[in-house]
Amino acid sequence: MSFPTLPQTIAVIGTGTIGASWATLFLGAGLSVRASDPGAGAEAKLREFIRAAWPSMEALGQTSGRSAGDALAALAFFATPEEAATGADLVQENAPERIEIKRETYAKLESALAPDVVIASSTSGIMPSELQAEMTHPERLVVGHPFNPPHLVPLVEVVPGKLTSGAAVEAAMAFYKAVGKVPIKLNREMIGHIANRLQAAVLRESVYLAREGVASMQDIDLAASMGPGQRWAFIGQGKIFALAGGVGGMGHFLDHLGEAVETWWDDLGDARLDPETRAMLTEAYGTPTEESFAKDVAFRDAALLRRLKALSEDAEGESPEQGA
């Protein structure tokens, strides 16, 4: 079975933080969005999110010439998932992270969708094979896991389940590329996909170092953000070490520092979120107020926007290979 690779009408199911951000991205790509969410005031919240996010989309040149008003006119909101899915060429599902809710949602969606419409789940933790187990057309289900917020952060992880069609994976990859994302394809499903596993590994070592009294969580965060994090924004760790090998590349690096890296690996610590660790982390970061949380999110998004604009400028010239 073939699947549409350039969908024009997208159903966004669930319009919380992630779903609203996806809707913004799709509208910025010039597409039509049919959204659904059972939450009280969900449509008003979604439209306000899009209005607030549109200046960022304009700054990145990702509006397809649309004004915020034009974008909102291309958004339709429906009471149920099956109504939103009617006539959609692709579904981006953002239902709560509970497998029974997602399976119920898929049953409703499949009652309204043609068999050749991909359903992509934003899930960060449920395996696609579990999600598709009760579907009529399980071959259409993929994970399309974004990073928050999807309308700014380029990455999306495309993950197949055991019953997913290769054609569905390729259609999802083509679609995400067409709307400006940087999709990566996992050859098989893995708990946490890739990027969350990398984040979890860094957090585990950070917690271990703090619990061992090596440094505070704040200084460990600075070590990450002001050190390797500056490079991680545009190249991956493998490429960083390959560059450290000079013209000899990774081979030279491994010849000279491979044994040292192995000693670092061997000495990496273990950490668990036991009561003491939870207390340490809570004390280190505190509990935000609504005002301070909004301020932190605004800072994050503004900083992301500045870096993404710089990355876009870099990409216009000769840039490192994507995915390195």
- Output the pTM of the full model: 0.91
The region of weakest confidence among 58-67, 207-216, 299-308 is 299-308
Per-residue pLDDT for 321 more than 60?
no
Q: What is the pLDDT of residue 313?
A: 82
Rounded to whole angstroms, what are the CA distances from 240 to 230, 231, 320? 11, 8, 11
Please report, as a single letter, which amino acid is at residue 135: M
Any residues with CB less than 8 A from the CB of 214 and at least 6 apart, and which? 220
| pLDDT tens by residue, 172-183 | 999 999 999 999
User: Quick one: pLDDT at residue 5?
Assistant: 77
In the predicted structure, residue 323 carries a pLDDT above the cut 60:
no
What's the average model confidence in pLDDT over 94-120?
97
Q: Which pLDDT value is given to residue 22?
A: 98
For range 54-65, the mean pLDDT = 96
The reported pLDDT for the residue numbered 324 is: 36
Query: Tens digits of per-residue pLDDT, 158-175?
Result: 999 999 999 999 999 999
Cα 129 from Cα 188, distance rounded (Å): 10
Check: CB of residue 109 under 8 Å from CB of residue 119. Answer: yes
Q: In angstroms, rounded to a whole number, what is the distance separating the alpha carbons of residues 78 and 289?
A: 33
Q: Give the pLDDT band (50/70/90) at residue 322.
A: very low
Tens digit of each residue's pLDDT (9 = 90 or more) over 260-293: 999 999 999 999 999 999 999 999 999 999 999 9
Instruction: Quick: pLDDT tens for 173-231.
Output: 999 999 999 999 999 999 999 999 999 999 999 999 999 999 999 999 999 999 999 99
For position 232, what pLDDT does the model report?
A: 94
Bond into 149 cis (ω within 30): yes
Q: What is the mean pLDDT of residues 63-78?
A: 98
Task: DSSP for 20-68, please give it.
Answer: HHHHHHHHHTT-EEEEE--STTHHHHHHHHHHHHHHHHHHTT-STT--H
What pLDDT does residue 317 have? 64
What pLDDT is recorded for position 170? 97
